[in-house]
């Protein structure tokens, strides 16, 4: 068996330390970031005697182009980036832009500027998780509350920008509306989730949008007609749609215009024949679902059905959000993510099935009856479970290699913090695995930045361009040559504020 190439160009770089960002005092730019705003000495900073309020200028660095799904490479060398009141006002070469008198300046000569990273699907249940995201350069999270990721901690400060995700059309104990008195009884799941009435679904869309929800999740038990209606109505309201279909055939959801197909372990159901799809309407979670998954599992990655499916996906609007990170620890050449500095911020008790802190490997607990077996027997059973899980991961990986050959569009997301994934840290494993799949480093960066603008119309983020939010990473190496360089962050800027990363490591979990 030929194994995939290593996860990164130089895995030995794991132990490279981040540059220590030292403080130079500056005036406060925002009360919420008062203890974290600082001017790093990793770049030369010029603070004038009579500074212009809320104007920051980055000079000399290379602005990395992530437009056109990462297919453009019009980088701006020796650039000037002017930031006013948290937004980018001007970007261009040093010779084309006049630096405002009295502006605060950071010299970025020899460095590279990329937009803050977007995690398109994750939890964020604590200050520690918020800080870990920021430390690793994740400045926006599409945040989900669910049984694996817990409740969103909306009180975290400092925090990435949170774009709320909510389920629609089905009972859900974790819905953002579940604690509202008028919805508590309607959304209570009972033994199994159930579809809501069309009237309740329409009202749910309106009510969750009033909470600030940006993304609606279409779940396993939604049938085709409801999925089609929700997608159409959500788009009319300016909401983004994520499909994690089981009862709804994938062809129906894709042709209805769903924006995202979530999880590589789910969208593999797109190849099951009609005779296996029909029973999923009444049985999306148990016997019929197991039969459908068994069918796709037995279908080799070289089977023509996968190539046909891949071409169908590439020809339609839906982008793929594979969340490779959920399988990272089951694939070859993975690292112990607990050795990352930001991992010290994370509490295993707030994570679903975290990896072992010593080995970095996933645990495979045995049934209670196995306690009566000798130690050798228990080890044999554990190894059997591990081997089966690794084989499943490799099968899904090969399927995604086939799907990639048709060149669909990708969005980066981690699924943190479940199954060994870690907020912030796993965004960089996701980038590594996108490159391992076949994307160029620039295309992988685009998947975590401007592709969100192209796919969803979120034109406030994703680029270092006039009018965009000033969420910027200044990194010490060219990430278009080696994706590992995206983690070599020397300066973090969020909303135009320079954040000292080192104090983030001391934040409460």
Per-residue pLDDT of the chain (509 residues; tens, 9 = 90+): 334 444 444 333 333 333 333 333 333 333 334 444 444 434 556 666 556 678 999 999 999 999 999 999 999 999 999 999 999 999 999 999 999 999 999 999 999 999 999 999 999 999 999 999 999 999 999 999 999 999 999 999 999 999 999 999 999 999 999 999 999 999 999 888 999 999 999 999 999 999 999 999 999 999 999 999 999 999 999 999 999 999 999 999 999 999 999 999 999 999 999 999 999 999 999 999 999 999 998 899 999 999 999 999 999 999 999 999 999 999 999 999 999 999 999 999 999 999 999 999 998 887 878 888 888 887 888 888 889 889 989 999 999 999 999 999 999 999 999 999 999 999 999 999 999 999 999 999 999 999 999 999 999 999 999 999 999 999 999 999 999 999 999 999 999 999 999 999 987 77
**pLDDT for residue 344:** 96
Helix (H) or strand (E) holding 255: helix 250-255
**Structure tokens that stand for 19 in this block:** 């540059």
Which residues have C-beta within 8 Å of that of residue 314, sequence separation ≥ 6? 406, 407, 408
Phi then psi for residue 423, to 5 deg, are -50, 135
Per-residue pLDDT, 46: 61
Beta pairing class for 55-59 and 104-107: parallel
Give CA 437 to chain center in angstroms.
17
CA torsion angle 192 193 199 200 (round to 10): 110
Residue 2: its pLDDT value, please? 37
Neighbouring CB atoms inside 10 A of 336's CB total 16
CB 114 within 8 A of CB 492: no
How far is residue 319's CA from residue 312's CA, in Å, rounded to a whole number?
12
Instruction: Please report the pLDDT score of residue 47 as a whole number.
Output: 62
Rounded distance between C-alpha atoms, residue 167 and residue 176, angstroms: 8
Per DSSP, the three-state class of 113 is strand
| Owner of token pair 């008062």 | 34
Cα–Cα distance measured from residue 170 to residue 40, given in angstroms and rounded to the nearest whole number: 48
Angle between helices 375-404 and 304-314 (to 10 degrees): 60
pLDDT for the residue 50: 57
**Whats the size of the chain, residue-wise?**
509
């Amino acid at each position: 068996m030929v194994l995939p190439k290593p996860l990164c160009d130089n895995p030995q770089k794991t132990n490279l330390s981040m540059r220590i960002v030292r403080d130079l005092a500056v005036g406060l730019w925002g009360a919420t970031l008062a203890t974290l705003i600082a001017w790093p000495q990793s770049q030369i900073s010029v603070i004038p005697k009579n500074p212009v309020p809320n104007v920051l200028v980055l000079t000399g660095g290379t602005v990395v182009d992530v437009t056109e799904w990462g297919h453009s490479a019009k980088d701006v060398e020796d650039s000037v980036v002017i930031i006013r009141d948290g937004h980018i006002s001007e970007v261009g070469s040093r010779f084309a832009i006049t630096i405002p008198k009295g502006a605060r300046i950071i010299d970025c000569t020899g460095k590279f500027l990329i937009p803050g990273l977007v995690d398109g699907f994750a939890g964020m249940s604590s200050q520690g998780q918020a800080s870990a995201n920021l430390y690793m350069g994740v400045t926006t999270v599409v945040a989900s509350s669910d049984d694996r990721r817990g409740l969103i901690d909306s009180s975290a400060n400092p925090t990435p920008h949170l774009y709320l995700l909510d389920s629609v059309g089905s009972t859900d104990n974790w819905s953002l509306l579940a604690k509202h008195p008028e919805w508590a009884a309607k959304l209570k799941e009972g033994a199994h989730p159930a579809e809501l009435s069309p009237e309740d679904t329409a009202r749910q869309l309106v009510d969750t949008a009033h909470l600030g929800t940006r993304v609606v999740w279409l779940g396993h038990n939604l049938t085709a007609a409801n999925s089609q209606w929700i997608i159409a109505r959500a788009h009319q309201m300016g909401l983004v749609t994520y499909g994690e279909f089981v009862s709804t055939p994938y062809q129906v959801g894709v042709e209805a215009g769903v924006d995202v197909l979530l999880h590589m372990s789910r969208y593999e159901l797109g190849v099951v024949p009609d005779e296996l799809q029909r029973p999923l309407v009444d049985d999306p979670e148990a016997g019929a679902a197991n039969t459908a998954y068994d069918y796709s599992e037995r279908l080799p990655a070289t089977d023509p059905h996968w190539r046909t499916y891949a071409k169908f996906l590439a020809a339609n609007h839906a982008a793929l959000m594979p969340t490779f990170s959920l399988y990272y620890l089951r694939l070859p050449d993975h690292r112990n993510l607990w050795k990352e500095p930001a991992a010290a911020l994370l509490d295993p008790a707030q994570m679903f099935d975290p990896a072992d802190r010593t080995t970095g490997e996933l645990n495979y607990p045995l049934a209670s009856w196995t306690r009566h077996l000798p130690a050798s027997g228990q080890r044999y059973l554990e190894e059997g479970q591990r081997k089966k899980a690794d084989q499943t991961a490799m099968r899904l990986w090969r399927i995604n290699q086939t799907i990639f050959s048709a060149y669909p569009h990708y969005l980066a997301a981690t699924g943190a913090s479940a199954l060994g994934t870690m907020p912030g840290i796993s965004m960089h494993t996701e980038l590594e695995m996108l490159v391992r799949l076949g994307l160029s480093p620039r295309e992988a960066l685009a998947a975590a930045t401007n592709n969100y603008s192209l796919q969803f119309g979120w034109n406030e983020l994703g680029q270092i361009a006039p009018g965009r939010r000033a969420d910027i990473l200044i990194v010490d190496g060219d990430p278009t040559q080696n994706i590992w360089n995206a983690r070599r962050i020397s300066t973090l800027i969020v909303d135009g504020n320079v954040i000292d990363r080192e104090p983030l490591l001391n934040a409460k979990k």
